[in-house]
Amino acid sequence: MKQRFTALLLVFALLVPLILPVSGQEADPEEPIVEALKVFFAGAEGDYGAVNPNDGGACSIGLLQWHGARALELLRYALENWPGTANYLSQALYREISAQGTSWSSRTLSASEAERVSALLGSQDGRAAQDALARRDILDYVSLCRGWGMATDATAAYFSVIVNQFGSGGAAEYLGHIRATLGVGEDAVFRDLNVLHQAVHDTKSYGQRYLAMRDKSYEYIVSLGWELSGPTPRALPEGADLLAEAREARPAAWQLSQEALDLLLRFRLLLQKNTGFPQALLNSPLPGKSPPFR
C-alpha cells in the first residue's frame, strides 16, 4: 500500500506542472466567471442528472442543459474519457452515441432512455465529465463576449448566459438587435450591466420570451457584488460582422489546460479508490481566484 501511495504521489507531481500556472503567472482571470456561472446554471438550468426528453424537438441534458447535438457531444465526451459510463446505457443507445454519422439535432428520448442517461450523468464519472465540459464551454462563452467588447465581468457573465441559450450565432444576432435598439456606436452596453439589461428589455423584436431568464441572471450577478460598470471597451466599427468576430474569438488555448484537468479528475478518482484519502481534500478546487460568494 505504501508503494502504491508513493507511486500515486509521483503521478500527481507530474500533473502539477500541467495544472498550476507557469511560475510568475496568475491563474486564468476568467475563473471567477466560470465558477459563478456553474452555480447559476445548476440553479437555473438543471442539476447533474437533469434530463428533458423533449425540449422543443430534441433532448436537453445535464448541468448546462446541453441540447440536441450538444447533448450528444456531452455523452460522447463522457464515454471517451470515462469508459465506465457505458455501463449505464443499453447496447443500442451506446452504439448510436458512438457511431460517427449519428445526429441528435431532433433526437428525443424515451422514458427508459431518459432514465439511463440521467443515471449516467448523475454518477461520479458523469459529474466529472460535466464539470470538465462545462468549464470548457463557459470559457468559450466568455471568450466570445470579450471578443465582442464586453469589458466587465458582469456584462461578460450576463451575455454568456445568452450564448449558452442561443448558441454563438444566435447570441451574435441578439447582440446585433440590441445595438440597433441603442443606436450604432453606443458602447455603454458593453461596460455597464444595468444598460445592457435595460437594452435587452427594450429590444422588442428579439428574445422577449426569455426575459424571465434574463431577469434571473441579472439578479444573480448583482448579488455577487461585482462591479457593474467599467472602462470604455474596444469599440466595434459600424457594420461590424459579429458572426465573423464570434468565429475568430473562439479560444484554442483551453485545450491543453482541459487535458490537464481531465488527468487531475482521473487522478482524484484513483487516489480515492486506492488510498482512502479524505474526500474533502479531493473535492478542493483547483488553484486560482474564487468568486466572491465562495
- Name the more confident of 294 and 17: 17
Query: What is the mean pLDDT of the segment spanning 107-132?
Result: 96
- Name the more confident of 282 and 151: 151
Write phi, then psi, for 246 (nearest 5 degrees): -65, -45
Is 288 inside any structural domain?
Answer: no
Is 62 inside any structural domain?
Answer: yes
Shared domain check, 91 and 210: no
- Per-residue confidence band for 23, with pLDDT thresholds at 50, 70 and 90: very low
- Name the more confident of 195 and 262: 195
Is 142 inside any structural domain?
Answer: no
Which pTM does this prediction carry? 0.67
pLDDT at 240 over 50: no
Show the DSSP H helices in the chain as ranges. 2-19, 31-44, 69-81, 91-98, 111-122, 124-147, 153-182, 188-191, 193-202, 211-223, 242-249, 254-275, 279-282
Which percentage of the chain shows pLDDT scores above 90? 43
Structural domain range at position 244: 148-249
Provide the number of structural domains found in the chain: 2
Shared domain check, 260 and 120: yes
The single-letter DSSP state of residue 61 is E
Shared domain check, 207 and 94: no
Which range among 22-31, 153-162, 256-265 has the greatest average pLDDT?
153-162
Is 143 inside any structural domain?
Answer: no
Is 47 inside any structural domain?
Answer: yes
Shared domain check, 119 and 225: no
Query: What is the mean pLDDT of the segment spanning 120-125?
Result: 96
Shared domain check, 119 and 202: no
- Name the more confident of 145 and 178: 145
Of 18, 11, 8, 16, nearest in space to 258 by CA: 18
- Per-residue confidence band for 266, with pLDDT thresholds at 50, 70 and 90: low
State residue 167's pLDDT score: 87
Asked if residue 49 lies in contact with residue 119, where contact means CB atoms within 8 angstroms, the answer is yes
For residue 60, give the 3-state DSSP assignment: strand
Separation between Cα atoms, residue 154 and residue 161, nearest integer Å: 11
pLDDT at 173 over 70: yes
Which range among 17-31, 117-131, 271-285 has the greatest average pLDDT?
117-131
Shared domain check, 158 and 72: no
Shared domain check, 267 and 236: no
Q: What is the pLDDT of residues 132-144, one digit of tens each?
A: 999 999 999 999 9
Residue 89 pairs in a beta bridge with none
pLDDT at 168 over 70: yes
DSSP for 107-130, written as a single string: ----HHHHHHHHHHHHSHHHHHHH
Shared domain check, 168 and 184: yes
Is 261 inside any structural domain?
Answer: yes
Shared domain check, 126 and 158: no
Q: What is the pLDDT of residues 59-83, one digit of tens each?
A: 999 999 999 999 999 999 999 999 9
Shared domain check, 231 and 158: yes
CA angle in degrees (0–180, nearest 5) for 115-131-141? 110
